Amino acid sequence: MKLNDLSSLMARREDGGLSYDRFRADPALASLHWPDDVLEQFLFDHGDNAAFVYDYGSIDLDEVRWRLETIQAADFVGMPTGASDAGCIESYAESPVHWVKVRRPEVGRHWEEHGTWLRPPVLIDRRLLDPSDSGLQVVEGRTRVGVLRGRLREGLHVASHQQAWVGHA
């Protein structure tokens, strides 16, 4: 199953008649066995975004297995995102304090107290896009990763290790 195979489900969600709870209960998604957090961030939030589909539409969704992993903060510094959003992580990194301030107050408190995000971002093994490639890529959480990069650059509190959902083949 690919993103385009979910177009009718996405259309129902887009019409506003499909809450996340009803969305995740759809039989087309049941076979994926994806964690709720990934299902919501990857499919519910972005599954019909044209740029997102361009970047990730070739992935066989049935083949992706997700794990919550601990990754060194420094590993996020050079991590890319999809081609359609090239440069956006660095634009967020230019003003990490601003991007935290425009979020809910608990986001800022969490960064200050724990040096990390409230919700783990979604990454994929780049071999899912190109078998000859390697490393990880940011699928969802570009603002969060940008804030982390900016905080590292500005010497603000960042935990040495971060949690992220990682999709592997």
**Nearest one of 64, 70, 85 to 142, comparing CA atoms:** 85
How do the domains of the chain map onto residue ranges? 3-61, 65-168
Q: Which residues pair with 138 in a beta bridge?
A: 81, 123
Residue 28 has what pLDDT?
Answer: 85
- What distance in Å separates the CA atoms of residue 169 and residue 166, rounded to the nearest whole number? 10
Q: What tens-digit pLDDT sequence spans the chain (169 residues)?
A: 999 998 888 887 766 677 888 888 888 898 899 999 999 999 998 888 889 999 999 999 999 999 999 999 999 999 999 999 999 999 999 999 999 999 999 999 999 999 999 999 999 999 999 999 999 999 999 999 999 999 999 999 999 999 999 999 9
pLDDT for res 42: 93
pLDDT value of position 31: 87
pLDDT at 155: 97
d(CA 42, CA 132): 24
- Which residues 6+ apart lie within 8 Å of 34 measured at CB? 42, 43, 64, 66
| pLDDT score at 23 | 87
